[in-house]
Amino acid sequence: MKLQPVVATVAVLACTLLAAACTEEQGAFGDASSIVAAVPTSSWTSVADSVYSSLESTIYTVRDEKMFTVTHVDPADPGVWEELRRFRQLLVVGPAEAEWIAPVLDAAGSAPSSNGVVQAFDIWARGQTVTAVVTSGLDQLAPEFLGSLGELHGLYDAQYRQLAEARMFISGRDSALADTLRNDARFSMLLPNVYTWASRDSVYVFRNDNPDPSELIRQVAVTWASPIPEGMEGEDFLAWREELAQKHYTDEQVNILENVQANRLDHDGLDAYQIQAVWQSPPGAWPAGGPFVLRAVECPAQERMYLIDAWLYAPGKEKYQYMIQLERILDSFECVA
């Protein structure tokens, strides 16, 4: 028992002498959508509004939802910086010789982009992504940082989308189901293994209500009309959706068209129409709601028009990552010639 204090003392001393090595053994904390921005306070005051406006831009789900949240830290404040530099998403800004930039450049293995942007991983914690904006000096930090915001937003969004897709398919891709649909129903779609499915009367319903349907439901339904109806517009697709929900959904739904987003698009070379809006339970039912994305795709080779409806129920949760996942499933839809 008397040896324990000695062992503890040696461990503390080792971490003191080898601080970097001990830090690397610690896992990063924070969510992938939370960005800690390490910028000298002297420059932050002149760029803060632009940074928030760019990196905290919103997407509408059932309300305006921030894509990312930004927290500022001054890297010259040792107490706060040493703690927050272990965040999962870290944005550091400054000249190459700055002590909060140099380790990133040493680990990056590549030159910064034309806007001075470079990334490295696991600098101060495991599982960490560090994005650096390398400026020509502290006196040029603000204008050069502002010039990089467009690239930063695109980079963060693309990587977050990749992460959301990886999380969705952590159970694996159900290629067997895709083959079954291709052979039996003349369409195909790639879903995670955790989705269950059923079909009735030319309607296919795919559902994931793990871990508990009271907490989270992701559902996609596919049906079609043949021959292809002519002259259909947004209100016609919405009426079709309500009929689909009334006849085939376990959860009663009506369309709520405040802040509706609608547009025509190219779906893998096919004409398509997409609507994003909100569904709610009808009056008198248990109150529930969430976003949906509805896509109508014309397949002339089959003389079919498909209606694909993806909806989400996630009360009290941020919904952006789930909407990314549902859109990825919609994008995987294929007509079989």
% of the chain surpassing 90 pLDDT? 87
Q: For the segment 55-96, what is each residue's pLDDT rounded down to a tens digit?
A: 999 999 999 999 999 999 999 998 899 999 999 999 999 999
- Asked if residue 149 and residue 223 are part of one domain, the reply reads no
- Asked if residue 227 and residue 154 are part of one domain, the reply reads no
Q: For the segment 107-124, what is each residue's pLDDT rounded down to a tens digit?
A: 999 999 999 999 999 999
Query: What is the pTM (predicted TM-score) of this model?
Result: 0.85
Q: Please count the other Cβ atoms lying within 10 Å of the Cβ belonging to residue 230.
A: 6
Rg (CA), the chain: 25
- Identify the domain boundary among 140, 167, 194: 167
- Asked if residue 136 and residue 193 are part of one domain, the reply reads no
- Identify the domain boundary among 167, 188, 211: 167
Preceding peptide of 315 cis, ω within 30°: no
| DSSP codes joined into one string, 116-170 | SEEEEESSSSBT-EEEEEEES-GGGHHHHHHHTHHHHHHHHHHHHHHHHHHHHGG
Contacts of 89 (CB under 8 A, 6+ apart): 30, 31, 32, 33, 34, 35, 36, 68, 128, 129, 131, 156
Q: For the segment 130-164, what is each residue's pLDDT rounded down to a tens digit?
A: 999 999 999 999 999 999 999 999 999 999 999 99
Q: How many angstroms separate the most distant Cα atoms in the chain?
A: 86
- Asked if residue 180 and residue 159 are part of one domain, the reply reads no
- Asked if residue 97 and residue 203 are part of one domain, the reply reads no
- Asked if residue 163 and residue 190 are part of one domain, the reply reads no
Structural domain that includes position 112 = 19-167
In the chain, the number of structural domains is 2
Q: For the segment 266-281, what is each residue's pLDDT rounded down to a tens digit?
A: 999 999 999 999 999 9
- Identify the domain boundary among 109, 139, 167: 167
Distance of CA 122 to the CA centre of its chain: 21
- Asked if residue 46 and residue 83 are part of one domain, the reply reads yes
The answer to whether residue 196 sits within a structural domain is: yes
Q: What span, in angstroms and rounded, lies between the C-alpha atoms of 244 and 253?
A: 10
- Asked if residue 176 and residue 160 are part of one domain, the reply reads no
- Looking at residue 269, which CATH number applies to its domain? 3.40.1000.10
- Looking at residue 24, which CATH number applies to its domain? 3.30.379
- Asked if residue 234 and residue 126 are part of one domain, the reply reads no
What is the band of 12 on the pLDDT scale with cuts at 50, 70, 90?
very low
Per-chain mean pLDDT for the chain: 91
Q: For the segment 32-63, what is each residue's pLDDT rounded down to a tens digit?
A: 999 999 999 999 999 999 999 999 999 999 99
Judged against a pLDDT cut of 90, whether residue 13 lies above it is answered with no
The answer to whether residue 271 sits within a structural domain is: yes
Q: For the segment 176-225, what is each residue's pLDDT rounded down to a tens digit?
A: 999 999 999 999 999 999 999 999 989 999 999 999 999 999 999 999 99
- Asked if residue 128 and residue 272 are part of one domain, the reply reads no
